[in-house]
Chain A
Amino acid sequence: MEDLETRCASLRTEIAAAEAQLTKLKRELHEAEGAALRAQSQKTASANATTGQRTKSKWPLHGEEYRRYGRQMIVPQFGLQGQLKLRDAKVLIVGAGGLGCPAALYLAGAGVGTIGLVDGDTVEASNLHRQVLHRSRNVGKLKVDSAIEYLRELNPHPTYIAHQAHLTPREAPDIFKDYDLILDCTDNPATRYLISDTAVLLGKPLVSASALRTEGQLMVLNNPPQPPGDKTGGPCYRCVFPKPPPANSVTSCADGGILGPVVGTMGVLQASEAIKVLTSAGESVEATPPSLLIFSAYSSPQFRTIKLRSRRPNCAVCSAEATVTLESVRSGSMDYVFFCGTVDPADILSPEERISPSEYGNVDSAGAQRHIIDVREKVQFDICSLENSINIPMSTILASAYSAPTLDADEPKRLPSWLPPEVAHESNKPIYVVCRQGNDSQTVVRKLKELGLDHGGERPVVDIKGGFRSWREQVDPDWPDY
């Protein structure tokens, strides 16, 4: 057994070394190919200069590029001019996840000259169903490196720039200034406002998209990118959503779920909009009015377009009354985390009101009388659940949390309809509450106590600390890690 483990460890080391060597060789090859291309074009250029003749080598693109990009170059809206504009363009993609991967894939394929990618995350197995540039073997690797590895194999012509950290207000202006167009492919409100503000202040158009579960949104913002105060400029993210959503209502893909093709669709649409913006730049085309596209995969119609207004007259960034400046972004006096709010840490219960998964495991195997309430959503309960547990989804509990309180304070509290009668009436049985991570369970323990189910402290109502995540670590390693 020990021998095998040593063997595995040494193989892993060998593979890592070989991969590092391969990466190094590929980079060297890429640089050598680039140098060869430049040398070749210089040679032909000087040859042409000497002979003074117009030869085929004076075509603006290399032979390989005509073959590679021909199918898009014969599209009338695109053409040779479109190709040349893409080649000269520098696009920054913030986020190398579900949106950034497909967007980068198509922009690299189309031949955008410089593509920058910003992300500080590493690839996880749960990313692979939708983040199409990352491959199973790259789990654990930085997303930007994993993505660029794929893009380089797809198209070696563009220059790829890796920004291996999450975007911060301090660095955003310096990163953005070198690019012509920004794609917002991120996953949280604070970064969305930061990206929009920085894009406006530096005069960069912004293609913004988002997705959750079965829905997505897409907007082309700050287009045309006129200076703040100029009413002819396109609206920014703040013009459309001046107030951030309450922090505790923000759902991530990890919590809410996401279908791969839904977020993929949004990322591909971003690439399409990016190509439109880049190839029309400089022409006096009639500006396309700004709009918000909503994709809802399970609705009919699946696509809706809402016409947006022009810049908001009192917008904090792009109006004449603007208060946000590059300096306030950089210095942190525009505090994005504060602006968007934070969710209070969920440690709302005292130690006596909590029980560890291993302690509950003992209660469980002793076969003690009890109620175990699982407050995950039904779809998660259906994936895996504890024997005899009762499913009361958090959303059901919250939805009724706002019903009008009884006017008469003396009237006994009416129990909510989601509470099964046996839980309410079998008051000799303790109540255990469990959820996925151990946050919602605490909220529900509070709620059950407010409803008087603990009989003034006589009946234990406790939460299982750390939820099923800790359950897997402490009790059941086979518990599905979805």
Chain B
Amino acid sequence: MSTFQIHYFASASTYTGRNTESLPAPLPLSSLFDTLEAKYPGIKEKVLSSCSISLGDEYVDLVSDGEKSGNEGLLIQGGDEVAIIPPVSSG
């Protein structure tokens, strides 16, 4: 089965209890949050809502409040790398 690799940083890695894992591909980018929510209940509200997301080495927009993000049709393919990047504010 084809998979993509997803990396969790900061609070995303704390919430999921892991740094990285493989998920089944292909997956529409727009379904990413729901897929993660099903796997890690509560993650959407507590973590993902404020995160940056990257596909490959590019920032992608998943803002869900109805505006056009320009990434509506994107598909995560087998072999792709996705990163969940929460804002870290401490220092």
A interface residues with partner B (beta carbon < 8 Å) = 95, 97-99, 185-189, 192, 209-212, 215-217, 240-246, 249-253, 256, 258, 263, 266, 292, 294, 296, 299, 304-309, 314, 395, 399, 401-404
Contacts and interface: CB of A to CB of B under 8 A. Distances in A.
Interface string B45-88: 11101101010011101010001000000000000000101111
Given A241-B52, A246-B50, A249-B47, A307 B88 contact: no
B68 to A, nearest CB: 9
Contact of A249 (B11, B58, B61, B91): B11
Nearest to B58: A307
A217 B88 contact: yes
B11 to A, nearest CB: 6
B9 A294 contact: yes
A307 B83 CA distance: 12
B11 A186 contact: no
A39 to B, nearest CB: 42
Contacts of A292: 52, 59, 85
A329 to B, nearest CB: 19
A308 B53 CA distance: 10
B28 interface: no
Contacts of B19: 296, 299
A167 B39 CA distance: 41
Given A241-B52, A403-B41, A187 B89 contact: yes
A9 B15 CA distance: 50
A320 to B, nearest CB: 15
A399 B87 contact: no
Contacts of A187: 89-91
B24 interface: no
11 contacts: A99-B91, A210-B89, A211-B88, A215-B10, A240-B52, A245-B11, A245-B47, A251-B11, A266-B91, A299-B19, A402-B41
B50 A307 contact: no
Interface in B23-37: none
Contacts of B59: 240, 292, 306-309
Given A263-B91, A314-B67, A403-B41, A245 B86 contact: yes
A314 B68 CA distance: 11
Given A187-B89, A244-B50, A305-B57, 14 more contacts: A186-B89, A210-B87, A212-B90, A215-B10, A241-B50, A241-B87, A245-B11, A245-B47, A251-B11, A252-B90, A256-B90, A306-B59, A308-B59, A395-B14
A301 to B, nearest CB: 11
B80 to A, nearest CB: 14
A309 B7 CA distance: 20
What 8 pairs between A and B have smallest CB-CB spacing?
A: A402-B42, A402-B41, A245-B50, A210-B88, A99-B91, A241-B87, A306-B54, A189-B89
Nearest to A209: B91
Contacts of B91: 95, 97-99, 185-187, 209-212, 253, 263, 266
B71 to A, nearest CB: 10
A259 B53 CA distance: 25
A210 B90 contact: yes
Contacts of A258: 90
Given A294-B9, A299-B19, A306 B88 contact: no
B9 A215 contact: yes
Contacts of B61: 309
A439 to B, nearest CB: 17
A376 to B, nearest CB: 15
B10 A212 contact: yes
